[in-house]
Structure 1
Amino acid sequence: MTEIDKNTRHAEKMKKIKAARDRMMATKTGEKGLIIVHTGPGKGKSSSGFGMIMRCIAHDMPVAVVQFIKGAMATGERAFLEEHFPDKVQFHVSGEGFTWETQDRERDIAKAEAGWELAKSLIRDPANRFVMLDEINIALRNDYLDIDAVVDFLLTEKPEMTHVLLTGRNAKPELIEAADLVTEMAVVKHPFRDGIKAQAGVEF
Structure 2
Amino acid sequence: MSDANDIDPAAAPAPVDPDARHAVKMAKKKAARDKIMATKSGEKGLIIVHTGAGKGKSSSGFGMILRCIAHEMPSAVVQFIKGAWDTGERRLIEGHFQHLCQFHAMGEGFTWETQDRARDIEMARKGWDKAKELILNPEIRLVLLDEINIALRYDYLDAGEVVGFLRDEKPPLTHVVLTGRNAKEELIEAADLVTEMTLIKHPFRSGIKAQAGVEF
- Normalised by the length of structure 1, the TM-score is 0.98
* Identity in percent: 72
1:147-181: per-residue Cα shift (whole Å, max 9, x none)? 00000000010011100000000000000000000
Q: Tell me the CA shift for residue 2 of structure 1.
A: 8.2
Of residues 102, 106, 110 in structure 2, which corresponds to 1:90? 102
- The answer for the alignment partner of 2:166 in structure 1 is 154
Change (3 A) 1:187 1:3: farther
What SS does structure 2 have at the residue aligned with 1:71? helix
Cα distance in 2, alignment partners of residues 79 and 3 from structure 1: 59
Cα distance in 1, alignment partners of residues 19 and 87 from structure 2: 49
- The answer for the alignment partner of 2:134 in structure 1 is 122
Tell me which amino acid in the other structure corresponds to 2:144. M
Tell me which amino acid in the other structure corresponds to 2:57. K
Q: Tell me the CA shift for residue 188 of structure 1.
A: 1.1
Change (3 A) 1:3 1:120: farther
Q: Tell me the CA shift for residue 7 of structure 1.
A: 1.4
Cα distance in 1, alignment partners of residues 158 and 64 from structure 2: 27
The answer to whether residue 37 in structure 2 is matched with residue 42 in structure 1 is no
Instruction: List, as ranges, runs of 4+ consecutive aligned residues in structure 1 with deviation greater than 6 Å.
Output: none
Q: Tell me the CA shift for residue 15 of structure 1.
A: 0.8
Tell me which amino acid in the other structure corresponds to 1:173. E
In the TM superposition, 1:1-204 aligns within 5 A as 5-204=17-216
Q: Tell me the CA shift for residue 4 of structure 1.
A: 5.8
Tell me which amino acid in the other structure corresponds to 1:109. I
Q: How large is the RMSD of aligned CA atoms in angstroms?
A: 1.2
Stretches of structure 1 that go unaligned for 5 or more consecutive residues are none
Q: Tell me the CA shift for residue 3 of structure 1.
A: 7.8
Change (3 A) 1:58 1:3: farther
Change (3 A) 1:3 1:67: farther
Change (3 A) 1:94 1:17: same
Question: Radius of gyration: which is bigger?
Answer: 2
